[in-house]
Amino acid sequence: MFELSAYIKKQNQQINVALEKILHDSQLSEPITEAMKYSLMADGKRIRPVLCLAAAEAVGGKLQDVLPAACALEMIHTYSLIHDDLPAMDNDDLRRGKPTCHVAFDEATAILAGDALLTLAFQVLSSVQYTDENHSSNWLKVIQIISTAAGYQGMIRGQMLDMASEGRHLTVDELKSMHALKTGALIEASLLCGALLVNARKSQMEILKTYAGKIGLAFQVTDDILNVEGNPKVMGKAVGTDKLREKNTYPAILGLEASRQFAENLVNDALQTLEVFDKKADPLRALATYIIERKR
């Protein structure tokens, strides 16, 4: 029987070793490296890089072929968290069970640490040693996919829409569209890049894109639920903040029970999309279920 906890632990070990090496090899000035490492090596879930590795595995690829992309995705995600936590944004004091970057250091250092992680991600992506023309073409596509997902057409646009909607009442469809950008875009990029780098077929890429859309939305619905009833000690961050900021959330619009059912339906749909894959996709199946069962 597939054990997700053991799988995540093993993948996280590989990811963490690679991230440590990247920071060590970058030879950046000490204060900024310290701030970058403080946030990057905190006790995060590593969902995006793990999904990247699992997608490669699902289509029969080797994990080492996609590890640089997995690391870049985690650096971009961490940069977004550092900036989201800033006083000008969500003004949060706790992240991943410890003081946020701007609290542990200062606001200017946190801004620069986020900027540094974002740019380092693309330095890593563009520093891969290519083996042939197809290999180089795939990595160029990966850079395009990730930059689009993380930029003003993806995650940043979603964050802007989220801030602009505070105090307003969105429809469920508007909320879905916003979170498809804010949360879903980078999750989709994680899966597509993992598969692309090991030469997945177009049909496999389409299936993984559908799967990504379902679990990306389920992930956000679960985050919204946890912000209402989660345990701050387990989550490593404050709860109840969405209501205080008058944010549009699924529990606020649908109610808690309907939100839980919505997330469950999304995961069931995601699992159905994977029916054409064999047991190599078991990590993706287990990750879909984990997304709505997690407590942090």
The pair of structure tokens assigned to 277 is 């894959």
- What pTM was computed for the model? 0.95
Q: Are 97 and 236 in contact (CB under 8 A)?
A: yes
Q: What is the pLDDT of residues 12-67, one digit of tens each?
A: 999 999 999 998 876 666 789 999 999 999 988 899 999 999 999 999 999 989 99
| pLDDT for position 27 | 63
CATH superfamily for 4-293 is Farnesyl Diphosphate Synthase (1.10.600.10)
Report d(CA 296, CA 230) in Å as an integer.
7
Instruction: For residue 59, give every residue at least 6 positions away whose Cβ sits within 8 Å of its Cβ, in sequence order, or none.
Output: 195, 198, 200, 201, 204, 280
Residue-level pLDDT at 249: 94
pLDDT at 139: 97
Domain ranges of the chain: 4-293
Q: What is the pLDDT of residue 29?
A: 65
Provide the residue type at 174 as one letter: E
- Residues ≥6 apart with Cβ < 8 Å to 258: none
Stretches in the chain below the pLDDT threshold 50: none
Residue-wise pLDDT tens digits, 148-169: 999 999 999 999 999 999 888 9
Residue type present at position 35: A
**What six digits make up the tokens of 80?**
């977004």
